[in-house]
């Protein structure tokens, strides 16, 4: 068995360069899985998953525009802009039989991508995400977050974010994950964080799309997620025909980092079956 090597690369897409990890299949490639991170993180949050895929699968983790090592470009962000970037990335690399795996914001991007370009997608893994647009309360919360960030800076923002995004066990026991989240936030500019908050606040509702999803879909939620409720993910499950819903114990909003073994087991079983 040939050991697969993770490489970091960049590709020019219109006004930006997109940074990504890639681990190519060493056997006949059956699928390509693309990992899309949440807000305000980067591709490093998917490293444990890129490492774990089987030899017949090519794994790619991207930095979304304005995050990590990807350029911000024109600076006007939306979920549509992120989805269009992803499409141009997939086309430029001529990827086929693609499974999209997105957590939180990455899930919103995955759903919008499928709505716009379903033809290349053979599966979806949607983690700690949902189909609804922000209501007025949710929008105001994002606007308040922007004001707090501009007033107090990234350090205070990062501490508050960690309290919400991770389970109490992760915060107390898994310092490596806590530091990864802090460093991910620090890597992004204040402008990019604010622009992404506005993109999230303005995203469209995907409820009507759910009945149109025809590819196998795995829904994953951390049992202790304080951001994405079980109720809204069960609505997502009910709306997508044949989807499977699982909960990951000892995990909050980022189960792929907080309980790597359980997440990877579900992910790899899904990739093998589908």
**Model confidence pLDDT, tens digit, residues 52-78:** 999 999 999 999 999 999 999 998 999
In CATH terms, the superfamily for domain 7-273 is Alpha/Beta hydrolase fold, catalytic domain (3.40.50.1820)
Residue 1's pLDDT is 46
Please give the Cα distance from 230 to 36 (Å, whole number).
21
Between CA 259 and CA 251 the distance in angstroms is 6
Q: CA–CA distance from 202 to each of 77, 105, 116, 133, 139 (Å)?
A: 10, 12, 17, 8, 8
- Residue 3: its pLDDT value, please? 60
Helix axes 79-92, 190-201, angle to 10 degrees: 100
Q: Does an H or E element contain 189, and which?
A: none
Q: Could you give the CA distance from residue 179 to residue 152 in angstroms, rounded to a whole number?
A: 20
Q: How does pLDDT run across 83-123, given as a tens digit for each residue?
A: 999 999 999 999 999 999 999 999 999 999 999 999 999 99
Q: Give the mean model confidence (pLDDT) for residues 164-181.
A: 95
Domain extent listing, the chain: 7-273
| pLDDT tier for residue 274 given thresholds of 50, 70 and 90 | low
Categorize the per-residue pLDDT at 5 as very low, low, confident or very high, splitting at 50, 70 and 90. confident
- The distance from CA 144 to its chain's CA centroid, rounded to whole angstroms, is 23
Structure tokens at 87: 């499409």
Mean pLDDT for the chain?
95
Q: What is the mean pLDDT of residues 2-29?
A: 90
Does 4 score more than 90 pLDDT?
A: no
């Amino acid at each position: 068995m040939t050991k697969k090597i993770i490489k970091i690369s960049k590709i020019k897409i219109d006004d930006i360069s997109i940074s990504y990890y890639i681990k190519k299949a060493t056997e006949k490639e059956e699928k390509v899985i693309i990992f899309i991170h949440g807000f305000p993180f980067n591709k490093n949050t998917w490293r444990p998953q890129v490492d774990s895929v089987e030899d017949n699968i090519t794994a790619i983790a991207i930095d979304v525009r304005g995050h990590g090592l990807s350029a911000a470009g024109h600076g006007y962000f939306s979920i549509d802009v992120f989805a269009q970037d992803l499409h141009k990335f997939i086309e430029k690399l001529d990827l086929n039989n693609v499974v999209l795996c997105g957590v939180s914001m990455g899930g919103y991007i995955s759903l919008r991508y499928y709505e716009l370009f379903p033809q290349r997608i053979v599966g979806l893994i949607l983690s700690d995400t949902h189909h609804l647009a922000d209501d007025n309360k949710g929008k105001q919360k994002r606007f308040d977050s922007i004001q707090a960030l501009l007033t107090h800076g990234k350090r205070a923002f990062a501490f508050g974010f960690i309290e919400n995004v991770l389970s109490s066990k992760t915060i107390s026991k898994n310092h490596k994950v806590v530091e990864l989240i802090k460093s991910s936030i620090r890597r992004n500019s204040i402008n990019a964080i604010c622009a992404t908050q506005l993109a999230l606040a303005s995203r469209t509702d995907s409820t009507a799309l759910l009945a149109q999803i025809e590819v196998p879909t795995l829904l994953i939620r951390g049992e202790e997620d304080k951001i994405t409720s079980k109720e809204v993910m069960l609505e997502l499950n009910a709306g997508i025909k044949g989807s499977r819903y699982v909960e990951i114990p000892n995990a909050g909003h980022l189960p792929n980092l907080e309980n790597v073994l359980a997440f990877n087991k579900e992910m790899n079983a899904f990739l093998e079956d589908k």
